[in-house]
């Protein structure tokens, strides 16, 4: 929404365009003249770059949610300029037409490259070693924060954008009671939480469940404390909030502009992805993975150990069987790897 708002601000003042007044036609102009040229990151067989159809679909879904949150709800009516401008026939046809055009240009759909439990834990071990070798202070906290990000994305099916917005008030005791004083109460649990202790995470608004808390994701303290999110969380709180005082609303906060402290703001999915790629590359483990690779890897690991598809659907909160099948398909990411290989080859030739 911020990118659209900035673009609308560049239009002539006489047009009086803003988030409250823009139309479906305005969104079509925005997508074609601004968004597509600035988000062309997918390589086609002829060497040209385009924005991926999934990226276009994700952008429009994000805008639709944003309009809904500012009160622009319901189907779009051209005659009265009311409703959610994304929920229009024009935008629905645009989304479908763009996907067809990309396919005719040689685009092959490829799912996120899955991350396995083995690779996740190897990456955590690499970061643990890095953390032990750097001076105590902010750099160690940054690495500890990133380890928790990685473990929480593995232990829950939450997407990167939803993970970045997790707050301390999203944690509930296993009996459903909310934690009243988050950092102080969670810090107190660090010395009493034995193996098997559980907390529920219920984010307030996710891609799957909008404008209300999601169903509970149960987190458990395991014997393997190094690879356990809750154990890491308790340790992190002790180091970041030694007095038990909450200095930030969000669990995963970015650094401030001067990089001297943590901001009271959520981490964006793009920032999480950049940190993940950086760590995978430093560990010489990067193979095209992204934030969504955790979700696919988790599902494929559950399939591999014999968990039934209906049970997996309940765990990851996917109700549609065909969608779950796509996540479980171990070959859907191959087109993405092929594109990454071609892009690397192009970069090597140009350098």
Q: What is the 3-state secondary structure (H, E, C) of the chain?
A: CHHHHHHHHCCCHHHCCCCCCCCHHHHHHHHHHHHHHHCCCEECCCCCEECCHHHHHHHHHHHHHHHHHCCCCCCCECCCCECCCCCCHHHHHHHHHHHHHHHHCCCCCCCCECCCHHHHHHHHHHHHHHHHCCCCCHHHHHHHHHHHHHHHHHHCCCCHHHHHCCEHHHEEECCCCECCCHHHHHHHHCCCCCCCCEEEECCECCCCCCCCECCCEEEECCCCHHHCHHHHHHHHHHHHCCCCCCCCCECCCCECCCCCCECCCCCCHHHHHHHHHHHHHHCCCCCCECCHHHHHHHHHHHHHCCCCHHHHHHHHCCCCHHHHHHHHCCCCCHHHHHHHHHHHHHHHHHC
Give the pLDDT confidence score for residue 344 in this predicted structure: 53
For residues 291, 295, 298, 303, the Cα torsion angle rounded to the nearest 10 degrees is -140
| Reduced 3-state DSSP string for 84-133 | CCCCCHHHHHHHHHHHHHHHHCCCCCCCCECCCHHHHHHHHHHHHHHHHC
> Could you tell me the pLDDT band of residue 272, with boundaries at 50, 70 and 90?
very high
CA distances from residue 229 to 147, 223, 226, 286 in whole angstroms, order as listed:
8, 12, 8, 22
> Could you tell me the pLDDT band of residue 245, with boundaries at 50, 70 and 90?
very low
Whether the pLDDT of residue 315 is over 60: the answer is: yes
Whether the pLDDT of residue 185 is over 80: the answer is: no
**Other C-beta atoms within 10 Å of 246: how many?**
17
Find the mean pLDDT for residues 4-17.
91
List pLDDT tens digits, range 186-211. Answer: 666 655 678 898 999 999 888 778 78
Q: Are 232 and 144 in contact (CB under 8 A)?
A: yes
Find the mean pLDDT for residues 39-63.
86
- CATH H-level, domain 118-292: superfamily: Intergrase catalytic core (1.10.443.10)
List pLDDT tens digits, range 119-176. Answer: 999 999 999 999 888 887 788 889 999 999 999 999 999 988 899 999 888 989 877 8
Burial class for 138, CB neighbours closer than 10 Å (0-12, 13-18, 19+): middle
List pLDDT tens digits, range 25-46. Answer: 999 999 999 999 999 877 777 8
Which residue ranges make up each domain of the chain?
2-104, 118-292
């Amino acid at each position: 929404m911020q990118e659209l708002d900035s673009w609308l601000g560049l239009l002539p003042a006489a047009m009086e365009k803003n988030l409250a007044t823009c139309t479906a036609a305005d969104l079509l102009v925005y997508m074609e003249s601004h968004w597509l040229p600035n988000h062309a990151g997918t390589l086609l067989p002829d060497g040209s770059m385009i924005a991926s159809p999934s990226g276009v679909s994700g952008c429009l879904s994000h805008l639709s949610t944003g309009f809904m949150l500012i009160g622009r709800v319901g189907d779009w009516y051209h005659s009265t300029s009311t409703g959610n401008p994304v929920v229009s026939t024009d935008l629905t046809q645009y989304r479908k037409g763009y996907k067809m055009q990309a396919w005719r240009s040689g685009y092959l759909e490829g799912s996120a490259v899955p991350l396995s439990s083995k690779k996740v834990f190897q990456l955590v071990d690499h970061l643990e070693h890095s953390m032990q070798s750097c001076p105590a202070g902010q750099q160690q906290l940054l690495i500890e924060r990133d380890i928790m990000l990685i473990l929480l994305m593995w232990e829950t099916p939450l997407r990167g954008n939803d993970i970045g917005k997790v707050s301390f008030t999203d944690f509930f005791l296993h009996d459903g009671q909310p934690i009243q004083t988050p950092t102080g109460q969670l810090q107190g649990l660090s010395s009493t939480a034995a193996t098997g202790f559980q907390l529920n995470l219920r984010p307030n608004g996710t891609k799957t469940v909008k404008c209300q808390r999601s169903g509970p994701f149960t987190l458990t303290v395991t014997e393997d404390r190094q690879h356990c999110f809750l154990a890491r969380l308790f340790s992190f709180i002790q180091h970041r909030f030694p007095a038990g005082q909450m200095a930030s609303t969000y669990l995963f906060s970015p650094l401030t502009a001067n990089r001297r402290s943590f901001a009271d703001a959520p981490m964006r999915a793009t920032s999480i992805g950049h940190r993940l790629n950086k760590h995978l590359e430093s560990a010489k483990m990067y193979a095209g993975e992204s934030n969504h690779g955790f979700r696919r890897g988790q599902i494929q690991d559950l399939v591999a150990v014999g968990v039934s598809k209906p049970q997996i659907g309940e765990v990851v909160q996917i109700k549609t069987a065909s969608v779950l099948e796509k996540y479980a398909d171990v070959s859907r990411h191959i087109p993405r790897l092929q594109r990454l290989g071609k892009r690397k080859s192009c970069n090597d030739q140009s350098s």
